[in-house]
Amino acid sequence: MIITVASFKGGVGKTTTAVHLAVYLQAKDETLLIDGDPNRSASGWAKRGDLPFKVIDERQAAKFAPKYQHIVIDTQARPQQEDLRSTSRGV
């Protein structure tokens, strides 16, 4: 399953929502969170070592995505049309 969390406005809780979804899905099967937000908030949280799933940035998606049952994508605010198209097709 691939879930993309997107919004055209910043500060609406995309990263928090993505992390909570990933925690829920990780309890069911291996889950990957792709941090596509330039702020890299999810990556920062992961560096603290408390998240039960792997967090990567979007440049590593092709390498890691095939190994996971569930993928959650945290996008940047105001994503471009091509970004939306690529995340709707999956990783």
Instruction: Summarize pLDDT for 29-63 with one digit per residue, the tens.
Output: 999 999 998 889 999 999 998 899 999 999 999 99
What's the predicted TM-score (pTM) here? Answer: 0.85
C-alpha 38/C-alpha 41 separation (Å) is 8
The pLDDT-based confidence of 8 (bands split at 50, 70, 90) is: confident
Report which DSSP code applies to 12: S
The pLDDT-based confidence of 87 (bands split at 50, 70, 90) is: low
CATH architecture observed for domain 2-85: 3-Layer(aba) Sandwich (3.40)
Average pLDDT over residues 58-82: 88
Q: Tell the residue number behind the tokens 């092709």, with chain if given.
A: 62
